[in-house]
Structure 1
Amino acid sequence: MSTDAIIVLMVIGAAVVLFATEWLSIDLVAILIMVTLTVTGVISTEEGLSGFSNPATITVAFMFVLSYALLKTGSLQRIGPYLGPIFKKNFNLGILIMMMFIGVVSAFINNTPIVAMFIPVMVSVANLSGYSPSKLLIPLSYASIFGGMCTMIGTSTNMLVSGIAVKNGLDDFPMFLSAPVGIVFIVVGAIYIYFFGKKLLPDRISEENLSKKFGMRDYLTEIEVLDESEFVGQRIMDSILATELEIDVIEVRRNGGTLFTLPPGDFVIKPKDVLKVRCDVEKIKALKDRLKVNFNTDAVRINENEIQKGDTSILELIITSGSEFEGKNLREMDFRRRYRAIPLAILHREEVVHENLHSVRLNAGDVILTEIKTHRLPNLKRQEMTQKSPFIVLSEEGVIDFNRKKFLTVFAVIAGVVGLATAGVIPIVMSTLLGAMVLVLSKTINMREVYESIEWKIIFLLAGALSLGVAMVNSGLASIISDFLVNELGNYGPVVILSGMYLTTSLLTEIMSNNASAALIAPIAITTADKLDVSPYPFLIAVMIAASASFMTPIGYHTNTMVYTAGQYRFRDFFRIGVWLNLGFWLIATFIIPLFYPF
């Protein structure tokens, strides 16, 4: 094994650990891969940076723009009111219709914003139809994954594999190359959920009382400031409440009537003020004599029926995958000043955090229970509808109206993009670029929105992943691994090797990025096909599909992460329903891929 191959192997090992542990963000890991491989001389500077100019990367960038434009029209939200009665009448039929709809839309639009938009819709549908949201949100995530498998623009992973293929001298993938397998998987997946979903999916009744759900009884109270209290006359930010005890003042009632909600840090405390605060009540009790306050724990309750009262509202904000909040804390994000909001609790996986909230490192899927000024809600919802929204608002209804004219324009543009690329009139990359420019020229969106809608985190991830693919070939590591596969499994035929590649890619996706998994295995697939003297397309289709087939864990695919906390799921819930889906898809893929794509 050459020195370059050893370096690439070490880089892969480090990358797997970093992807799996999430010590660093996935885009940073990808850039580190690119820099390391370039600095060590495994690939040239031009090869290292070529991922940014690769047609696959550019196509994905402008697909984000098309997705944003469609979401901005408010068209997808209109499906919610129609689903409720269907679910109420026939749960299984509702699941089937929802999954088919999401699957079709996800074939042409990035699935992350679709799932982000539909989480509150499906929670509302669940509440109206009398079912737990946990019965609906995993199927929502799975359906978006199924749909993304059907077209080249359905998910960035498909474009990544296509880009690696082109880099290795193969033709660009047609728009619907993976459609035969993707359609089979949509049908099989929907049938599986239809017959077994209701039984295998957990029935976690959503707690109507947010105070109970977030365990707020011991963390919300009212304190009355006595005349002799040491912080009388002080600003909140200068008082012991903020400087030593890290107590958040949510509300101040003065003279028995005047109410100041979410007071700013320079608000001056006066005698007899009654403060509604978020804190450890036991800490207040212990310091009662020193603080010179009276307190009343029973004065504060948070009820689902009163989430909007006066000029403040109680919201649940779910951190999205790729959010600017990911890996940061609320203090770094200047959360209170930026949103005029106070965090009450943070739900991280299955743990509720009440203390030191401003210092908690946030992950995708975490839920922030927060109190916010009601007049800020429209701005908050408009931000939620953007492609790069940092969170999903779970406890409020959407406020974006349906714009029929813009919807027809966007629909026509997306249809044109797909039609031109499918007919081979122009390459996919040029059709998506043309589509984005038509939307700008028609004033459906503006250039600022173009820049803001692109998920640069994914773009950097793709660029780094493509450089890893080049390094696999340049170093000879792909050839070494393919030699091993051919020598050990060659006698059993290409179908067995294809089956092994699918299974390996699928398992890697469960612990690391789907794009990284595809970038790792795709070069091996091409080299193996060359050594077997067979078509590389069956192997590449297997890698492409398997890289998206993450059903067993909430961390393997970003949409699973997004629904994890919203549905009050546990890790084992995904394994319980997803393991059979993974195994079934593996067996089906082993037989139908060679059927649709002969060797």
Structure 2
Amino acid sequence: MTMDAWLTFAVIAGAVYLFVSEKLPVEVVALLVLASLLTLRLVSTDQALSGFSSPATITVAAMFVLSAGLQRGGSLQRLGALLARIRWGWLFALAMMLLTAVISGFINNTAAVAVFLPLVIAATVANRQPPSKYLIALSYAGQFGGVCTLIGTSTNLLVDSLARQSGETGFTLFEFAPMGVIFVAVGVTYMMVARRFLLPDLGVPEQADSGHAGRYVVELLATERSSAIGKRGSELLPDDAGDVVVLEIFRGRQPVPSPRSEELRAGDRLLLRGEWRDIEQARKKLKLDYDQVARELDGGTEDERLHAEAMVAPGSHLIGQTLAAVRFGHTYRVRVQGLHRHRLAIRQPLDRVPLAVGDVLLLDAPEKSLEAMRSDPGLLVLGEREQDRSSIGRALLAIAVMAAVVTVAGLGWLPIVGSAILGCIALVVLQILKPEDAYRAIDWRVVILLAGVLPMGIALQNSGAADWIAEHAVTVVGGFGPVATLMAIYLLTSVLTEAMSNNASAALVVPIAIATADALGLDSKPFLVAVAFAASTSFLTPIGYQTNTMVYTAGGYRFTDFVKVGLPLNVIFLVMAGLLIPRYFPF
């Protein structure tokens, strides 16, 4: 190998480590990759910046705006409301998955799941059915539908863009559809069985408390009247406190050195972790209070206030911010009483914790504050809440704009990037979205990630690293035939996607797939399809795909629930890829 190849591998190894460890945000890692490749002269300046002008990057940004148009127009909410009228559990599950899959073929699947998530929770609770029997199916259905069209996921567009950069023909808007429909049918059938036998029954949350699923971290204040004053941290909790744990004791906003042996004083703050009901029971017995510093947030009388849960949505302006930095309570006129996160490694006051996608905030708020929060695309208000009513005319206009974008691109009158940009302009001109709403709708983290990882694929090709990997891959699996090689590419992409960003894994494997096809003297298109499908379907872990993270938090699942349901589905899709890709995309 050349020195450039070794340097490229070193950059990629560092990127993979940072993606997997999540020590830095993915978009920051992508920019580090770009800067490293440019500094080491592995790509030219034009190549390093080509991701920002790539049709894939611009199209993804435009699709976020088009998705927001459908959400703000109210068309998705109306479909969700119709879905919620179904009372039979099996029919509700089937209709939910099919509807989500169809919608996810044309708008960002994360947006589709974000809209349906609170509606599904509300409908299942109203029908006295456990939401945990439905939410993983909702996430997976969004991924099933995303592989059916070129615009279903940002990964499909990224694979298409990388292919065209390499001189390949790329894909048309509906080229994935014939095979994608089969994947949807098999995936939905599997989930209809899995939801009955493999998905856990975590019970039906009480409507009065909005669910409060999972374990929360809660910060409580010890006042003079608290019975906990004078007790050591190890002695604080009553015997019937369940799984509640004292994480830290803060004195003057600083943690005490030994919380288990330190005696509690008036004015100290306790950081507790556990099931919400157990924490609330312990709080009442110990006469602990929530922080009441800002009295003006109390509003009216006590009976006007509600408990609700709000999830930090993908692309939210709150990601990476702390509650204190954004003055969350004053901005939304609510009190944050607890934080639920799938990784509960929290050892600092709640207002100093940087927020992440999927975090659920337990709120004490008046109804008017919740109404304001529902209009914020960065937050999802969970629980049984009446949705904002919207204009039928605006909903129909938003649908018409989206249909026109798809039709113009599907008939080949304009490239998808051109029709998508015109669609965004139409939404603003028709006043379905304001310009500032369009800007806020774009998940700039995804855009930066795409722009940053595209040069990684170029470096793999320029340095010869992709050819070196392909030669060794052919030596190992090439003797078993092209189908075995294709399945190896699919498996590699799938494994990488479970551990890191799906777009990053696609950018890494596409050059290898193209080089492998060239080494075997085969058409590269089947291998590119394998990368696109594998990177867009992540079932094994709750962190492999954003929709998985959302339902993981909202449903109160365990990590093993995804493994139990997702592993067989990953194997099924791997086998299907080996059987169907060569049929629809011959070598």
TM-score where L is the length of structure 2: 0.85
The aligned length equals: 536
Q: 8 Å contact 2:223–2:288 — kept in the other structure?
A: no
C-alpha distance in 1 between matches for 2:540 and 2:79:
28
Q: 8 Å contact 2:132–2:557 — kept in the other structure?
A: yes
Q: 8 Å contact 1:413–1:438 — kept in the other structure?
A: yes
TM-superposition CA deviations, 1:167-213 (whole Å, max 9, x none):
01122410011112211111001000112321100001144357986
* 1:19 and 2:16 aligned: no
Superposed counterparts of 1:65-214, under 5 Å: 65-86=65-86, 88-89=87-88, 91-208=89-206, 209=209
1:402 Cα deviation from its structure 2 partner: 2.9
1:447 Cα deviation from its structure 2 partner: 2.2
Distance 1:215 1:466, change over 3 A: closer
Look up the equivalent residue of 2:143 and give its one-letter code: I
Distance 1:300 1:314, change over 3 A: farther
Q: 8 Å contact 2:216–2:340 — kept in the other structure?
A: no
SS in 1 for 2:375: helix
Distance 1:217 1:181, change over 3 A: closer
Q: 8 Å contact 2:541–2:563 — kept in the other structure?
A: yes
C-alpha distance in 2 between matches for 1:360 and 1:216:
13
Distance 1:361 1:445, change over 3 A: closer
Superposed counterparts of 1:6-405, under 5 Å: 6-86=6-86, 88-89=87-88, 91-208=89-206, 209=209, 244-245=251-252, 286-288=264-266, 297=285, 309-349=302-342, 351=344, 356-383=349-376, 386=377, 389=378, 391-395=379-383, 397-405=385-393
1:527 Cα deviation from its structure 2 partner: 1.4
C-alpha distance in 2 between matches for 1:115 and 1:512:
21
C-alpha distance in 2 between matches for 1:210 and 1:96:
25
Structure 2 unaligned blocks of 5 or more? 227-248, 255-259, 270-282, 291-300
1:115 Cα deviation from its structure 2 partner: 1.1
Distance 1:217 1:300, change over 3 A: farther
Distance 1:451 1:290, change over 3 A: closer
C-alpha distance in 1 between matches for 2:367 and 2:61:
35
C-alpha distance in 2 between matches for 1:315 and 1:284:
34
1:375 Cα deviation from its structure 2 partner: 2.8
1:93 Cα deviation from its structure 2 partner: 2.0
Distance 1:327 1:447, change over 3 A: closer
SS in 2 for 1:349: coil
1:445 Cα deviation from its structure 2 partner: 1.9
1:219 Cα deviation from its structure 2 partner: 6.5
Q: 8 Å contact 1:107–1:147 — kept in the other structure?
A: yes
Superposed counterparts of 1:423-462, under 5 Å: 423-462=411-450
Q: 1:552 aligns with which of 540, 544, 553?
A: 540
Structure 1 unaligned blocks of 5 or more? 227-241, 248-281, 303-307
Q: 2:563 aligns with which of 575, 595, 598?
A: 575
1:342 Cα deviation from its structure 2 partner: 2.2
**Matched residue, 2:551:** 563
TM-superposition CA deviations, 1:32-90 (whole Å, max 9, x none):
1111101110001110001111111111111111100000011212234433443x32x
SS in 2 for 1:72: helix
Q: 8 Å contact 1:42–1:475 — kept in the other structure?
A: yes
State percent identity of aligned pairs: 40
Q: 8 Å contact 1:214–1:352 — kept in the other structure?
A: no
Q: 8 Å contact 2:307–2:363 — kept in the other structure?
A: yes
C-alpha distance in 2 between matches for 1:583 and 1:217:
36
C-alpha distance in 2 between matches for 1:330 and 1:512:
27
SS in 1 for 2:340: strand
1:339 Cα deviation from its structure 2 partner: 2.2
C-alpha distance in 2 between matches for 1:574 and 1:123:
19
C-alpha distance in 1 between matches for 2:132 and 2:421:
39
1:560 Cα deviation from its structure 2 partner: 0.2
1:132 Cα deviation from its structure 2 partner: 0.9
SS in 2 for 1:556: coil
SS in 1 for 2:383: coil
Q: 8 Å contact 1:541–1:593 — kept in the other structure?
A: yes
Q: 8 Å contact 1:345–1:352 — kept in the other structure?
A: no
1:334 Cα deviation from its structure 2 partner: 2.3
1:442 Cα deviation from its structure 2 partner: 2.1
RMSD: 3.0
TM-superposition CA deviations, 1:289-331 (whole Å, max 9, x none):
999xxx97488999xxxxx954433221212233333333322
C-alpha distance in 1 between matches for 2:49 and 2:504:
17
